[in-house]
Amino acid sequence: MEYLYLKPDNNEHLEIIGSNSTKNSSSFLNRVNKTDRVIYVKKISSVVTILIENLELFIDNLDLILSTPEYYQIPIEHSFAGAAYIRNLGRVNLFLGDLLTLWTNDKWTTDCECCSGKIYVISVGGSPLSGRGSATGYCSSCSRVVLNITSFSNYYSSAVNTLPKMNKDDFVIASSLETLVKNLKNNRFDK
């Protein structure tokens, strides 16, 4: 596996925390400009922080979330399973219920080699033709976005095989993640 740990420092730059890859990590980093990497990591961190900070709350209320379409279908920005060249299943944007299903079944989790914590995979993308791809996750222990997690095909196939198939009649107007957290903390389940 190849892990690349990135964390925004106080000067709005990314600091390489470490990598277990034998490849030159700087070549990977130089492919994307620094400003875009900072923006990407900050966006993922802000969304995922809410998820990870409230993961126990979500798991305690898993049945409610999975059985309530307004909660299940809360869109999670930057969370997707994508594969090039696959019609109709090429990119699937994931909902809160999708992530919780994958995480609680340990389909989208892995161990962090930096701190031995748990990494929650947020998105995965790649090509089934070449077999190349990677995933992005968040380590709950080191509080870092983890890029370049390998095993694309395992993560992608588990998402496609685990998640419910929905048609356009199944979709509802979803609640927001912030509203759900507030309602769960206050034991208010009005929609």
The confidence score (pLDDT) of residue 28 equals: 43
- φ and ψ of 130, to 5 deg: -90, -20
Instruction: Check residue 88 and report its DSSP letter.
Output: T
Please report, for the chain, the start and end positions of each structural domain, with discontinuous segments joined by +. 4-185
Q: Give just the sign of the alpha carbon dihedral 14, 17, 18, 19.
A: negative
Which residues touch 78 (CB under 8 Å, ≥6 apart)?
40, 43, 44, 47, 122, 123, 136
Q: Distance between CA atoms of 150 and 133, rounded to whole angstroms?
A: 7
| Tens digits of residue pLDDT in 10-67 | 444 444 444 444 444 443 444 445 555 556 666 666 667 788 789 889 999 999 999 9
The confidence score (pLDDT) of residue 67 equals: 92
Q: How far is CA 93 from CA 33, 49, 96, 173, in A?
A: 25, 19, 10, 16
pTM to 2 decimals? 0.74
The confidence score (pLDDT) of residue 180 equals: 92
Q: Which residues of 14-24 are buried (b: 16+ CB within 10 A; e: fewer)?
A: beeeebeeeee
Whether the pLDDT of residue 69 is over 80: the answer is yes
Q: Distance between CA atoms of 88 and 38, rounded to whole angstroms?
A: 31
| Tens digits of residue pLDDT in 130-144 | 777 888 888 888 877
| Tens digits of residue pLDDT in 119-177 | 999 888 888 777 778 888 888 888 777 777 877 788 888 888 887 776 556 778 888 89
Q: Mean pLDDT in the chain?
A: 75
